[in-house]
C-alpha cells in the first residue's frame, strides 16, 4: 500500500520560515565574505571564491546522503514522502555539484593556470555529478510511481558510496587540489579564525537554501504523485 500523505515537517508552515532564514543567512554570508574576511596572504582576493565553492560542495555531499536516506526510507516503508525527499535532494544536489564545479573551475584558472586538469578531486566530483544525472534520467524514463521510486532508490543507495571517495580522493592520490582544511583527519581547522567563521556562516546559508528548496520540491512531487494516483482511481 503506497501512501502519498506528506510528512508533518512539510505540512506545517516551515517553508516561509526557511525562505526568510535563507535570505538572511545568505545576506550575512555575502557581507562577511566580501567585507569582513581578510584576503588570502598568497592568493589575494580570488580566494574569496572559497566561500561559494566549499559550501556548495559540502551541501552537495549532504544532499546525496539525504538521497540515500530517502531511498532507504522508501524501500523500507513505501511512504512516497521519502521518495519525494530523495528526488528533491538529488535535483538540488546536482545543482550544487554543478555550482561547486563551476566555482572551482573559476578559482583554478588564476591559481593553477588552467580551467580544468586531471586531478582526483575534480574527476571524482565530475563522476558524482554524472552519477546523479543518471539517477534523474532513470527517474524520468521509468513509468509508474512505485516502479520509478523503487528503481531510483537502488541507484540512490549505490551512488552514495562515491561521496567519501570524492572527499578522501585528495588524501589517497597525488593531488593538485589542496588537502581538507576544515574536516581534516587528526587536527583542528588550518584556517584563519575570520575565514573559518565566514566559511561556516556560508555553509549555514547554503544548508538553509538547500532545505528550503528540498521542502518546496518535495511538496510539489507529492502533489504530483497524489494527482496521478487520483487519475488512476
Cβ-based neighbours of 233, under 8 Å, separated by 6 or more: none
CB of 142 to other proteins, least distance (A): 6
Which segment (22-30, 49-57, 83-91, 160-168) binds other proteins by CB under 8 A? Answer: 160-168
Check: CB of residue 142 under 8 Å from CB of residue 63.
no
The Cα 84–Cα 134 span in angstroms is 17
114 versus 130: smaller Cβ distance to other proteins: 130
Nearest to 189 by CA among 46, 50, 4, 93: 50
CB of 158 to other proteins, least distance (A): 6
105 versus 142: smaller Cβ distance to other proteins: 142
Is 162 a binding residue for other proteins by CB under 8 A? The answer is yes
Contact with other proteins (CB under 8 A): which of 130, 179, 220, 223?
Answer: 130
Is 147 a binding residue for other proteins by CB under 8 A? The answer is yes
Cβ-based neighbours of 172, under 8 Å, separated by 6 or more: 120
C-alpha cell at 56: 556548495
Check: CB of residue 155 under 8 Å from CB of residue 138.
yes
> Given the rule CB under 8 A, which residues bind other proteins?
75, 124, 127-128, 130-131, 133-134, 137-138, 141-142, 147, 150-151, 153-155, 157-159, 161-162, 165
Amino acid at each position: 500500500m503506497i501512501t502519498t500523505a506528506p510528512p508533518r515537517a512539510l505540512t506545517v508552515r516551515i517553508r516561509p520560515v526557511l525562505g526568510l532564514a535563507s535570505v538572511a543567512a545568505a545576506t550575512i554570508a555575502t557581507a562577511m565574505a566580501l567585507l569582513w574576511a581578510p584576503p588570502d596572504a598568497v592568493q589575494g582576493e580570488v580566494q574569496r571564491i572559497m566561500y561559494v565553492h566549499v559550501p556548495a560542495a559540502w551541501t552537495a555531499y549532504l544532499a546525496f546522503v539525504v538521497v540515500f536516506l530517502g531511498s532507504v526510507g522508501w524501500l523500507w516503508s513505501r511512504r512516497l514522502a521519502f521518495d519525494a525527499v530523495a528526488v528533491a535532494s538529488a535535483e538540488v544536489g546536482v545543482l550544487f555539484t554543478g555550482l561547486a564545479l563551476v566555482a572551482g573551475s573559476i578559482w583554478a584558472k588564476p591559481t593553477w593556470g588552467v580551467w580544468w586538469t586531471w586531478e582526483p578531486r575534480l574527476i571524482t566530483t565530475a563522476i558524482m555529478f554524472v552519477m546523479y544525472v543518471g539517477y534523474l534520467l532513470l527517474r524520468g524514463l521509468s513509468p509508474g510511481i512505485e516502479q520509478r521510486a523503487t528503481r531510483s532508490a537502488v541507484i540512490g543507495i549505490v551512488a552514495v558510496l562515491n561521496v567519501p571517495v570524492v572527499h578522501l580522493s585528495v588524501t589517497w592520490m597525488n593531488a593538485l587540489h589542496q588537502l581538507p582544511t576544515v574536516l581534516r583527519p587528526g587536527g583542528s581547522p588550518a584556517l584563519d579564525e575570520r575565514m573559518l567563521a565566514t566559511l561556516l556562516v556560508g555553509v549555514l546559508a547554503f544548508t538553509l537554501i538547500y532545505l528550503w528548496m528540498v521542502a518546496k520540491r518535495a511538496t510539489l512531487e507529492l502533489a504530483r504523485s497524489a494527482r496521478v494516483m487520483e487519475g488512476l482511481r
